[in-house]
Amino acid sequence: MSALPDLDHTHDPALRSWIASANTDDTDFPIQNLPLGMFRRAGATGSFRPGTAIGDQVLDLIAAAELGALSESLGAVLRTCEGLGLNPLMAIGPALRRQLRHELVAALNADAGPKQSEQLAPALVPIGDVEMTLPCRIGDYTDFYAGIHHATAVGKLFRPDNPLLPNYKWVPIGYHGRVSSIGVSGQSFRRPVGQTKAPDAETPSVGAIKRLDYELEIGALVGTGNEQGHPIAIGDAEQHLFGLVLLNDWSARDIQAWEYQPLGPFLSKSFATTLSPWVITMEALAPFRRAFTRPDGDPQPLPYLDGAANRERGAISIRLEVHLQTRAMRDEGVAPARLMGSDFADAYWTVAQMLTHHASNGCNLQPGDLFGSGTMSGAAADQGGSLLELTQGGKQPITLPNGEQRVFLQDGDSVALVGRCEAPGRRAIGFGPCIGTVLPAVA
C-alpha cells in the first residue's frame, strides 16, 4: 500500500460532472474534490446523514446507496454513520474511502449520462438548504505549534533576543485542548470572562476579556487508530489520516498572558474552536503535495520523524486567508475585508510528523481525533495568522475599508477562514466556509 495517496483518474482536471455548478471555475467543490460531511435539511429534526458536496448541491450518500449508485458494502458502512458522524467510515481505513471516491466519480461524472442524473436526483439537496454539524465525534483534540513564522513573530514580542525556544526545531510542540466547545462553521460564542492581570496592576481582576483574537489553522482528523503502546511509523502515518478541515482556535490573549506559565494555555483557549464542516480527504489533496524541506542550517528531523515519502511529498500547499466583517459592515452591506494570506506548505512539521510524534510514546489515537496545526502565518509582517501578529501585540491598529479600526476583535465581529488548493494543470478545490461570530459576554 502506498505511503501517500496516489494520483489516479479521479484527479483528471478534464473531468466534468452532470451537475453544472460543479464545473465552474470558482466552485470549491468540483468533482475532483468530493469532501465528506454530516448534514440534514435546514429546519428538519431528524438525524444528520453523511453527504458529499458537489458544486452547489449535497449528495445524500445513504440515499445514493439505496438508489443503487453505490455498492452494498459502502451503503452498509454509510448507514452506520447516520446520527453518529463519519467515525465508522474513518475506522475502517483508507481502502474503503478510496472506493467511495471512485464510485462517486463514476456516478457523478458527465459521461454517466441522463439516466444517472435522473436516478440520483432524489438524493440531491441544494447546499443552501442544508444544516451542517461536526463531521465526526471528536474524542480528543491536540493543538500543535507547527507554524514557524507565527512562533517566531510571537516569540519576538515576548523574547526579542530568543524568539524560538531550544526544542522548537527538534520536536513538534503541542498541548491538549478542549473538545466540548468545538463547533461547526456558523458558530456564535460569548466573549469569555476571565482572570487577567494588567502590566501596571498590583493584583489580577476578573471581567470580560479585551484582547480577543482568532488563529488561522488547519485541522487534521485521524482515521484508523492504533493500539495503546504501539507507535505509528512515519512511513505508515498517512494511512491513519482521514482528511483536513479549516480550524479557528479562538484565543483570549489577556487570559493567556496571565495563565500560560508554567503549564501552557488553559481557559484562554477552551471557550470556543470553530471547524469547517466538509472534510477534504487525503485523496483529494494528492495533486497539491509538495516536497518537505528544511532551511539550510536547521536540524533535520530525527529518524523517527523522517522518511522518503514525507521528504518527497509530505507538505501540502493550501492557500489560506482570513476575512473580517464587523457588525457595521454587515448592516451597511459591505463585504468582509481580507486581512492576510499564507500557505500551509510553509508548516515546519507535516501532518504525518505530527501524528507520528503524537503516537511515539504509545499514545493510542482513535478515529475522529483532531489535530490543530497551530497558527499558519507567512514570513512577511502582513501575513500574520492572528491579530496579535498583525497589530504587533496590539500597538498598530488595522484600518478596515469602511474606516473602522481593530486591534483585537469586538462584539459582533465575524471571522471567516478561507482555504483553497491550486496547482498548475490541476483543478482547484476549496474547503468551504469556516465562519464564527463574537457575541457580547454574559452580563
Are the C-beta atoms of residues 181 and 188 closer than 8 Å to each other? Answer: no
User: In the chain, what are the helix, strand and coil shares in percent, each to the nearest 5?
Assistant: 25, 25, 45
For residues 240 and 223, give the distance between their C-alpha atoms in angstroms, rounded to a whole number. 5
For residues 168 and 304, give the distance between their C-alpha atoms in angstroms, rounded to a whole number. 16
Give me the residue label for grid cell 512577511: 380
Residue 262: partners with Cβ closer than 8 Å, 6 or more residues away: none
**Active-site residue 150, yes or no?**
yes
Say which of 11, 149, 150, 357 is annotated catalytic.
150
Residue type, 84: L
SS3 253: helix
Helices 72-81 + 94-108 axis angle, to 10: 110
Helices 113-120 + 94-108 axis angle, to 10: 110
Q: Enumerate the β-bridge partners of residue 240.
A: none
Q: Which helix (H) or strand (E) holds 310?
A: helix 308-313
Residue 158: partners with Cβ closer than 8 Å, 6 or more residues away: none
Helices (H), 360-396: 387-390
Residue 135: partners with Cβ closer than 8 Å, 6 or more residues away: 36, 37, 38, 85, 86, 221, 245, 275, 277, 278, 279
For residues 212 and 352, give the distance between their C-alpha atoms in angstroms, rounded to a whole number. 31
Give me the active site residues, please.
150
